[in-house]
Amino acid sequence: MEPAPLSSLQEEDVEEREPAGEDSAFSAAAVPPRPATHQSQHKYAPLDWSAYFDEERRVAIPGTDDVFNVYTAGSEGPVVFCLHGGGYSGYVCAAVYLGTFDMFGQSDCVNANGSGLAEMLSMASRIKDKARVVAMDLRGHGKSTTSDDLDLSIETLTNDVIAVIRTMYGDSPPAIILVGHSMGGSVAVHVAARKEIRNLHGLVVVDVVEGTAMASLVHMQKILANRVQHFPSIEKAIEWSVKGGPLRNIESARVSIPSTLKYNESQGCYSYRTGLEETEKYWKGWYEGLSDKFLSCPVQKILLLAGTDRLDRALTIGQMQGKFQMIVVRHTGHAIQEDVPEEFASHILNFISRNKIGPNGIEIPGLIKKWGR
């Protein structure tokens, strides 16, 4: 069904649905209740990135015209390097940064309406004792600019990430955990499989499985066409994203949605920054062979899924052999890191703690071992 246009979206509370059962994350039954809405447009006003990240950097790749926008938060611990999905931006990790504070007993700081922001910001220093968050805008997304923004081939995206990490950290990077959502999950797997990043210690893939992703590609053009394509204001785009779009967390939408838009001067409205419809020839390459490549990555691995998903034969055998950990995050949509940032962040920090990953590598009392050096 085509999403309702904004003009038909009524300012009223939406009745809650029953919690998802054992359905696929892509089924209607797995979609969580949408938040209640109110008349005030202030509720959908954009939030500035500076409330979440410490710094915005422009990383120019030597010998090219490519400049990637990167956001950083924290100054201690290993680097959690985040790669967003197609059509998103690096801002999707903003809620993850704040969500980490829930690990310190502040689970009620932010509710579905985004209240309690000041309380969470007052504890900003706590995450810096655990990990650093680095999030980049991939090619053709956010504020990054390249010589060919429509070249979203898996080879080019992989090369971009490796180039950004090398430009930022040189030959002696801190310990790195790659975290990738959807398309970004595939990019993270390819980066890890290349074994070119020194001091890489972990791989977290979020809500992407080869079989399900490949099967969904035949429907992708229709899904993209059925989105609301133009918005009279950024506030309306944020409103649609939580009423008829992919998100459930209003605060997260207020941070992440503006960077996915561009202003169309001729039409006097906002439209999507990334022309995913024009990149169809690359879609198959994002996911083909992903399962075997994921299993081959020589680092600790987690697969986070929004609801139960069908694992293919390779992943099923790999899980039984203990080659990776699978975690099912209930009652969330596809954008797990935005919908339930507290739970998502807890999984990341538990991963770091369980594997004893310090700022420079694996840390054991009385012994520091740096893998990949």
Which residues participate in catalysis according to the annotation? 182, 207, 334
Distance CA 240, CA 3 (A): 9
What pairs with residue 202 in β-bridges?
Answer: 177, 300
Q: For 13, which DSSP code?
A: P
Residue 96 parent element (H or E)? helix 94-99
Structural contact between residues 359 and 131, judged by C-beta atoms closer than 8 angstroms = no
Segment 58-66 long-range contacts (CB within 8 Å, at least 24 positions apart): 59/136, 59/164, 59/167, 59/168, 60/167, 61/160, 61/163, 61/164, 61/167, 62/167, 64/146, 64/147, 64/163, 65/145, 65/146, 65/147, 66/139, 66/144, 66/145, 66/146, 66/147, 66/160, 66/163
